[in-house]
Every structure is written in structure tokens, then in C-alpha cells.
Chains A and B, each alone.
Chain A
């Protein structure tokens, strides 16, 4: 499902532009507008699906089919396509949804399950194409946002762990 939606988000407007050229300019514009809305709706769905269920284990059994864990093939497709989509998408509204999904994926998968992420971001940042550099900047921001409170939570965890050990040793 997610793989199919990623293909819709990535679909090039120009294909339909050429296909519908014979139907007149108004039909053409309407098709483009509908396609843009569809792509945005797909990106919102992907973002919500990732934020709600990306952390679920594959063995988890959900009561609703759309609340189940994301299958491995979809996870691989997401990781392979999200950065190219960020650099290819001309729409800011779609980019915002994809960036939000990327943050949740990084928080869950980096570094163990996504070892090539930093190399991919560095490649985008070093590119001569300004859209790829922009996508690299967005990806760097999301990578930092994914871990901005991690040090704090680790500190709190260590403090609580220390005091719980101290209290149990006194009892």
C-alpha cells in the first residue's frame, strides 16, 4: 500500500499533461490540480501511517487493518524513496508531510537499521543541484529534531535508575 502511494507522490505531472493535451486547456488544468491534491492527500496519509504505526513490531496484531504494523517491504521502500522524493517534490505542502514522516523514521531506525542515512544526506548536501541541497538541509534538520530531547531523557532515566537502585539497597 505505502509503496503504491509513494509512486503516486512521485508521479510526474508532465505525463498527464501530455496525455490530456488533446482534451483542451481547461480539462488539462483541472487534471493537474486534481493530481496535485491527490499527491498531497497521499503524503498526508503516509505521514499519519508512519507516525502512528512505524514503531510497531511486525508480530503485532491490530484490530483495524490500517492500524497494523508496516510490513518490511514498505519500510524498505520508504527508506529508499523518501529522500529522493524530498528533492524531487516541487510542492512545499508535500515536503512538510514527507519531512515529518522522515523524522519518525529516523527516530526509530537510525543508526542500527538505517546505517547509510548520513552518507545519503551528505551526498545531497554536496550535490550541485540546488533542490538536492535543499532536501539535504531538510533531512539534516529532521535528523537533529528526531534526537533533540534524547540526551535529556537519558539523563532522567539514569537519575531515576540510580535512585531506584539506592532505595532498594537501603531496604
Chain B
């Protein structure tokens, strides 16, 4: 797994970030791929964060991507009129996976910082740089939650 993550994830995050630069349309190809990429990231953090994912080179672009997807304003024309159909739209599914991934990062890895750094090490987080990255991510997620609530 660590080899798969370190070899493929930089390309995946670059593709996803690039896709977000084009404005949302009715075409389902881009949100479908975005959905797959976010699903890949979330699947990879089920048990542990690999060393590569703890580094700033991974955590920062992925964090930015997740926040960008959450904050993405989807125009009315890009999704169905009916609310139930809209729920099945790939754009909203991609947003759902971004929220779920941030939730997983927060509860599984960031939240433990508030308890004890030692507990954090048990989750596979080992160095102080990662600790600082997570503190930053924690602040961003808390600010996001404040905006939503």
C-alpha cells in the first residue's frame, strides 16, 4: 500500500486539482473521476496514514483539494432540478465524499491531538512536522464546521 500511495497519489491530486479549474457543467465525466479520486484517498486512510500522506507534500494539496470541493459552487444548470435526482448527481456525490474524507481525517487523526500527542503516535503519526500540519488542518476544519453550523 505505501508504494501504491507514494507513486500514484501525487498524480491523482494533480489531476483532481486540474479538473476543478474548469467550471462545472452537465457533463458527468469530470465529477465521476473526482468522485473516484476522493474515494481512493478515503479508502487509503481507513486504518493508517502512510508516511507519504503525513508529509506536507501530500497533506497540503489533498487538504486544499478537499476544501475546494466542499466550497465548490455548482451552478443550477449543472445538476437536475428535482432535489431527489440532484442527490444522485455526480457533483453532489463528489462533495459528499469530500465531506466524508474530511470527517475521517478529523475524527481518526486530527481529533486525537486534543487528547494527547502520544495517542496520535499510536495512529501512525510520528514526527513534529506532521503534528504541525495536523494542527493547521484541525484549525481549517474547525473553521469550516463553524461556517456550516
* A residues at B contact (CB < 8 Å): 110-111, 118, 121-122, 125-126, 130, 133-134, 137-138, 140-141, 143-145, 147-152
The interface residues of chain A, by DSSP majority, are classed as helix
Task: Indicate if the CB atoms of B33 and A137 lie closer than 8 Å.
Answer: yes
Tell me, yes or no, whether B15 is within 8 Å of chain A by CB.
Answer: yes
Once A133-B33, A141-B43, A151-B1 are accepted as A-B contacts, the answer to whether A125 and B7 lie under 8 Å apart by CB is: no
Tell me, yes or no, whether B133 is within 8 Å of chain A by CB.
Answer: no
Interface-centre pick from B4, B11, B12 (highest chain A CB count, 10 A): B4
C-alpha spacing A126/B8, complex, angstroms:
11
Nearest residue in B to A92 (C-beta to C-beta)? B32
A149 neighbours in B (Cβ, 8 Å): 46-47
Pick the 7 closest A-B CB pairs, nearest first.
A147-B1, A137-B36, A141-B40, A152-B47, A144-B44, A125-B11, A144-B43
C-alpha spacing A147/B3, complex, angstroms:
11
Once A122-B8, A125-B8, A144-B44 are accepted as A-B contacts, the answer to whether A137 and B1 lie under 8 Å apart by CB is: no
CB distance from B6 to the nearest CB of A (A): 10
In the complex, per-residue mask of B1-36: 1 if CB is within 8 Å of any chain A CB, else 0: 101110110011001000000000000010011001
Task: Indicate if the CB atoms of B43 and A148 lie closer than 8 Å.
Answer: yes
Tell me, yes or no, whether B68 is within 8 Å of chain A by CB.
Answer: no
Tell me, yes or no, whether B142 is within 8 Å of chain A by CB.
Answer: no
CB distance from B41 to the nearest CB of A (A): 8
C-alpha spacing A125/B44, complex, angstroms:
18
Interface contacts beyond A122-B8, A140-B36: sample of 17 additional A-B pairs, CB < 8 Å, sorted by A: A110-B4, A111-B3, A118-B8, A121-B8, A125-B15, A133-B33, A134-B32, A137-B36, A138-B36, A140-B8, A140-B37, A140-B40, A143-B4, A145-B43, A148-B43, A148-B46, A151-B47
Task: Indicate if the CB atoms of A148 and B36 lie closer than 8 Å.
Answer: no
C-alpha spacing A149/B39, complex, angstroms:
15
